[in-house]
Amino acid sequence: MNAAIRTLGLTLALSGFAAALGGCAVSTEASEKEDVSAESEQALTGGVRDFGELPGTGEARTVRHTPAPRYGSFTFYANAGEEVDVWVKGQGRADAVAWILSSKDRSLGFNDDAAEGGLNAHIVTKLPANLGTKAKLRVVFREYSHSAATFTVSVRVKPGMFACTADEDCLKVSKGGCCTSYQFVAVNASRAADYAGANTCQPPYPPCAPPPFDEVADRAVARCEANRCVLGEPRGCFYGGVQRNVGDNFPSTDGCNTCFCGADGGVGCTKRACAPTCNEANEPNRRYVGHSPEQCQLVRFACEPGTSMFSNGCGCGCEQPADCPAFINCMPGPGPSSCAIERARCPLTPVAY
C-alpha cells in the first residue's frame, strides 16, 4: 500500500511539473514579440532605402530588402480625407512591419501582424483633413527581426465617400436603408459599391407605404461643389426639349444657326439669316399663288371667302384658319350636320361625302 501511494504521489508531482513547464512556455512565447509600434520617427527616417513610387491603384511591387539600411520604403501621393489601404507581405516566414509617414515624417499608421492573421502588415486609415492635396507619403517597412527578406507592397488610395474635384467624380445613388424610395444621395462614383454595402436595409424589415413620386428628387443630379458631391438641379441649359451641358455647341431650332450653352444657363445663338425651307405639301391650310417673293411682286389675286392673304419667304397666296381639320366629314348620318358650316369656315379642306 505504501509503495502504491508513493507511486501515485510521484505521478501527480511529475504531472504538475510538466504543466508548470507548459505554462512557462506559453508565457515566454507570448512575451517574445516586442511591441515596435512606438519606434521613433527619427529612427524611421534615419536609414531608409527608397524603392521608388507606387501608384495608388493597388498595383503591387516586389522587392528584396536587406537590413542595411534598416528600412525600405515606397512613395505614394494622396489627398486629405482619402482612405489608404496598404499591404506589406513577406515571402516565406518573413514577418513584415510597416508604417505610413506623412511628408513631415509623422506616423499616420502602423501595423505588425494583420488582423486577418499571418505575418503580413496591413494598414487601413483615413488621412487627416489638414494633410492638403497631393501630399507625398511613404510606406516604410522592415522585417521584424531585421533579417533580409522579400516583400510585396501595394497601396490603394480611395477617395472620401463624398469627395470630388469635378462633377464627373460624383454619382447619384439610392440613399439606402429601409423605406427610402425616391430618396437619393450623391457619392464619389468609385465608392458607390462601398456606400451601398454599408447602407442596406437590415432585418427586421419594416412595412413600407408606397412613396409618392418626387419630381424634384427624380430630376436632381449629382454634382461637385466645394469638393463634395451633392444633389442639385442639372447644370447647363434646357433648349429645344434637350438638356445641354455648359460649353456645348448645338444646332438652333431654326435649322441654320448654331447655339452655345453658357455657364449661367443662358443660351446664345448666331443670328444668320436663314434661307426659307419651302414645302407646300406640309402647309395644308395654305394655297400658294406665287412661289417666290419675286413672283408675288408681279401677280394679282383675290382670296375666296373664309381665307385671307399671306406672304413669306417662299411666296404668297391664301390661307384658312390654322385649326381647320384634316378633312370635313359630310357623310350622311343621324343628327344635324355641320358640314356646311365647316366648309364655309375651311374652304381649302378636303371633303368626305
Q: pLDDT digit string (tens) for 298-345?
A: 999 999 999 999 998 889 999 999 999 998 988 887 766 778 889 999
Residue with cell 419651302: 278
Encode pLDDT of 89-121 as tens digits.
999 999 999 999 998 889 999 999 898 778 999
The verdict on 243 and 224 lying in the same domain is no
Mean pLDDT score, 42-59: 87
Task: Identify whether 257 is part of a domain.
Answer: yes
Task: Identify whether 19 is part of a domain.
Answer: no
Task: Identify whether 150 is part of a domain.
Answer: yes
Task: Identify whether 64 is part of a domain.
Answer: yes
- Output 275 or 188, whichever has higher pLDDT: 188
Cα–Cα distance for residue pair 290/280, rounded to 1 Å: 12
Domain with 101 in it: what CATH number? 2.60.120.380
Other beta carbons within 10 Å of 153: 25
Number of structural domains the chain divides into: 4
Encode pLDDT of 169-218 as tens digits.
999 999 999 998 889 999 999 999 999 999 999 999 999 988 888 888 88
The verdict on 98 and 144 lying in the same domain is yes
Query: 84: number of CA atoms within 13 Å, CB side?
Result: 31
Task: Identify whether 253 is part of a domain.
Answer: yes
Give the chain's mean pLDDT: 85
Cα–Cα distance for residue pair 155/84, rounded to 1 Å: 7
Mean pLDDT score, 258-269: 88
Encode pLDDT of 224-240 as tens digits.
998 899 998 877 888 88
Q: What is the pLDDT of residue 32?
A: 61
* SS3 category, 201: coil
Cα–Cα distance for residue pair 144/66, rounded to 1 Å: 12
Task: Identify whether 250 is part of a domain.
Answer: yes
- DSSP category for residue 187: E
Q: What is the pLDDT of residue 275?
A: 73
The verdict on 59 and 146 lying in the same domain is yes
Residue 335 C-alpha cell reads as: 343628327
The verdict on 114 and 200 lying in the same domain is no
- Which residues, in sequence order, are CB contacts of 41 under 8 Å at separation 6+? 101, 105, 106, 107
Per cent of the chain over pLDDT 90 is 54
Q: What is the pTM of this model?
A: 0.52
For strand 351-352 and strand 328-329, is the pairing parallel, antiparallel, or unpaired?
A: parallel
| Residue 157 · residue 187 · CB < 8 Å | no
The verdict on 87 and 112 lying in the same domain is yes
Task: Identify whether 207 is part of a domain.
Answer: yes
Query: Both ends of the chain: CA-CA distance in Å?
Result: 136
Q: What is the pLDDT of residue 24?
A: 38
The verdict on 120 and 54 lying in the same domain is yes
Q: Between the CA atoms of 241, 245, 251 and 252, what dihedral angle is there, to the nearest 10 degrees?
A: 60
- Strand ranges inside 24-79, DSSP E: 48-53, 57-65, 71-78
Q: Tell me which of 129, 158, 187 is where a domain ends.
A: 158
For the purposes of burial, counting CB atoms within 10 Å of the CB of 302, is it exposed (0-12), middle (13-18) or buried (19 or more)? exposed
Task: Identify whether 277 is part of a domain.
Answer: no
The verdict on 149 and 246 lying in the same domain is no
Cα–Cα distance for residue pair 77/135, rounded to 1 Å: 5
| Residue 151 · residue 134 · CB < 8 Å | no
User: What is the span of the domain harbouring residue 244?
Assistant: 238-269
Residue 161 C-alpha cell reads as: 465617400
Cα–Cα distance for residue pair 28/215, rounded to 1 Å: 68
The verdict on 252 and 327 lying in the same domain is no
Q: Which long-range contacts (CB under 8 A, 24 or more apart) does 168-177 make?
A: 169/224, 169/229, 170/222, 170/223, 170/224, 170/229, 170/230, 171/222, 171/229, 172/220, 172/221, 172/222, 172/231, 175/199, 176/200, 176/201, 177/201
| Residue 88 · residue 139 · CB < 8 Å | yes
| Residue 51 · residue 61 · CB < 8 Å | yes
The verdict on 66 and 146 lying in the same domain is yes
